[in-house]
Amino acid sequence: MNELELALIGESYAASPSHILEGLTADLVDLQITGAPHTIYQELWHIVFWQKITLDWIDGIETTYPVRPSDGFPAQSDVAREGWLQLCRRFFQGIEKAAVFTRDAGKLQQTIRCPSRPGAPVRTMSVREQLESLAAHNAYHFGRIVLLRQLSGAWPPPSGGYTW
């Protein structure tokens, strides 16, 4: 497994996403912690939102960049429509697809178009650069999920995890 693939699905910089999400209950993922802007569910939904956009861009679909930051987080209707396990499945299916791209040197070098914020020009970057951006984005939000788990007394997960 190469380092970019590890950053997406393995234990490169911290616990793997599968361990970070392990053992979470519906009550815990919907728990609103005082002072935290989002729940665990909302954080993962946001990760999946950007993951889909990344995969669209890699597939040549110029999905529009959201107008407002809040557009990248779920509305109450989104939460009602998709349960936690379904959201996790969507995350793991997408991240596995991203991981497959990391094993294809030719694909990693391809240039793709990535729409920008409204009013900004479309950016171009390599698939590798877009996947590196996705890995960094996921690391940030998975760190927030770990913190939410810690604040709610649900860390480490059942299989263990970094406690520092």
Range with lowest mean pLDDT among 61-70, 88-97, 126-135: 61-70
Model confidence, pTM: 0.95
Q: Examine residue 159 and state whether it is found in any structural domain, yes or no.
A: no
Q: Is the pLDDT confidence value at 98 over 80?
A: yes
> Is 101 a domain residue?
yes
58 in any annotated domain: yes
Residue 43 domain-assigned? Answer: yes
Q: Where are the alpha helices (DSSP H) in the chain?
A: 3-9, 17-21, 26-29, 40-58, 76-81, 84-101, 105-109, 127-151
Residue 119: give its domain's CATH number. Answer: 1.20.120.450
Q: What pLDDT was estimated at residue 164?
A: 62
- List all residues 6 or more positions away from 22 whose beta carbon is below 8 Å from its beta carbon: 157, 158, 159
Q: Establish if 157 belongs to a structural domain.
A: no
Q: Are 110 and 102 in contact (CB under 8 A)?
A: no
Predicted local distance difference test score (pLDDT) of residue 163: 66
Cβ-contact 98, 8 below 8 angstroms = yes
* 56 vs 136: CA distance, rounded Å: 18
* Domain annotation covers residue 90: yes
* Amino acid at residue number 128: R
Q: Which residue range is the domain that position 34 belongs to?
A: 3-151
**Is 124 a domain residue?**
yes
* Number of domains the chain is built from: 1
Res. 21: pLDDT tops 70: yes
Q: List pLDDT tens digits, range 126-146.
A: 999 999 999 999 999 999 999
24 phi/psi in degrees, rounded to 5:
-80, 135
- Assigned domain for 76 exists: yes
